[in-house]
Amino acid sequence: MRQQSFRAPALWCLLLFVFLSGCGSSQQYASFARDGAAYTGAVAALADRASAVRVESSSFSLLQQRDALSRTYKGMALKNALRDSIRYTNQSDLGAIGENLRSKDVAISLQKYFIALQELAESKAPDDISSKTSEIIEKLDDAMKTQFHTSVSLPSSVAPVVVSHITERALHKELIGRKTIILNALNILDGLLNAINREIDGQARNIRNARVALLIQPAYQDTTSASLRSLPDKELWVALRQKGMSGTAFEAEDKKAIADIKKSGIKFRELFMKMTKE
């Protein structure tokens, strides 16, 4: 009897250790999933920002075109030229915005996967992990095919892992089963981030140049009007010139945001490769 009473507490201690170890490991996966959701969400937001910067840039370009066309055409010829100019620009902008939205869909779909993974990692209820993630993965694959004509051969399903509580083993098996498509999506987001960086940088330069051409030079060169005679006008002109030459606060924020997201992406990829090591 004494031997049995000694073994029982020892067995309970062992079971408690295993349970706590599983919980701790599950929390590691929850933290990993949170990082993934934050990174993909930031990329999605940046896609929206790229669209906003493009429209601002093209609006300045339209104003420049309007001035140039007004010096070349008159009457109906001018109206037709202006109509064609804004129609072409609108079509171009809508195409770019559509591209950004499709890119955003890839980021959002991957974000939804990580959110689902986090919820599973933090759950103590019995569950089949693959059934919770398969539909999300299929939508991610569809988003990649729509935008980049890129897809991976999806397995019919990841082998069901039904457990009494979500364990490290179950979560690891889930990630291993999805590794190829997630890595493919991360590669796409890396390329997308570089493209957005170039787009925002180029459009920001165009905005600065347009500000100089439309707002700064004309006011400075026009000595016949009341422009730049009052102190408020002069202060406004100085502020506009400063923005035109060195960029706005928004431009600095964009550069910092892109740099931070790139760093997060590198760190998350390293963590992902570590978490999916077999």
Residue 91 inside a domain? The answer is: no
Q: In Å, how far from its chain's centre is CA 276? A: 23
Instruction: Render the chain in DSSP notation, one character per residue.
Output: -HHHHHHHHHHHHHHHHHHHHHHHHHHHHHHHHHHHHHHHHHHHHHHHHHHHHHHHHHHHHHHHHHHHHHHH--HHHHHHHHHHHHHHHHHHHHHHHHHHHHHHHHHHHHHHHHHHHHHHHH--S-EEHHHHHHHHHHHHHHHHHHHHS------S-PPP-EESS--HHHHHHHHHHHHHHHHHHHHHHHHHHHHHHHHHHHHHHHHHHHHIIIIIHHHHH--SSSTT-SHHHHHHHHHHHHHHHH--HHHHHHHHHHHHHHHHHHHHHHHHHHHT--
Q: Domain total for the chain?
A: 1
Residue 119 inside a domain? The answer is: yes
Both tokens of 183, joined, read: 């890595």
Stretch 15-38: mean pLDDT, rounded?
A: 69
Residue 46 inside a domain? The answer is: yes
Residue 153 inside a domain? The answer is: yes
Residue 242 inside a domain? The answer is: yes
Percent residues over pLDDT 70 in the chain? 80
The pLDDT tens digits for 135-180 are 888 888 888 887 665 544 443 333 344 433 457 788 888 899 999 9
The pLDDT tens digits for 83-120 are 999 999 999 999 999 999 998 999 999 999 999 989 88
Residue 213 inside a domain? The answer is: yes
Q: In Å, how far from its chain's centre is CA 167? A: 30
Residue 78 inside a domain? The answer is: no
Summary mean pLDDT of the chain: 82
This prediction's pTM: 0.78
Residue 86 inside a domain? The answer is: no
Q: Is the dihedral of CA 60, 65, 67, 68 positive or negative?
A: positive
Q: Is pLDDT of 79 > 90?
A: yes
Q: Which domain holds residue 220?
A: 27-55+98-275
- On the CB side of 243, CA atoms within 13 Å amount to 18
Count of beta carbons in the 10 Å neighbourhood of residue 277 = 9
Is the separation of the CB atoms in 162 and 128 below 8 Å? yes
